[in-house]
Amino acid sequence: MKIYTDGGCAPNPGPGGWAAILLMGTHEKELKGGEATSTNNRMELTAAISGLEALKWPCVVDMHTDSQYVRDGITKYIRNWKRNGWRTASKDPVKNEDLWRRLDAAVERHSVRWHWVRGHSGDPHNERADELVHEARAELRRGADPARVPPHEIKAPRKRKKKAAK
């Protein structure tokens, strides 16, 4: 299983969108959602959480994110945050603690390998996730429920075309 995620706001903070693309074999599922007021980091976290929470059974997951904040937080810092009562090394409260707790719980169900992808560098799935983030934000601008664009599947699972053999 591979998951590609993205999230963002414009301006930051402001209307935000998130997206997750789930890939298993030849099947693909795209998810997106948004919030009327959020931050880039909250949307990046929500994308990863939503991707993992969409899985119906425990999986080995290659999680691809262009957010070093998310990747480093979950792989380097979360153990210490939990041990220190959700405080940073400088004793400040961890920002976005609610989402870090959700991500931690979602990760526990799976075996997740975290991969950082440089944003806007041509990776097709990262670029598609970015498009979905923009779509979610556009829904907010067009008058979708200002409290929240509900997370929803935007495309039924479909088979990807096989590459022609040379």
Active site residues: 6-7, 44, 66, 120, 130
Q: Are 136 and 17 in contact (CB under 8 A)?
A: yes
Residues facing 40 on adjacent strands: none
d(CA 153, CA 130): 16
Give the DSSP letter of residue 84: T
CA neighbours within 13 Å on the CB side: how many for 130? 14
Q: In what order do the strands lie in the sheet with 27-38?
A: 111-116, 60-65, 2-9, 14-24, 27-38, 149-159
- Nearest of 114, 96, 81 to residue 42 by alpha carbon: 96
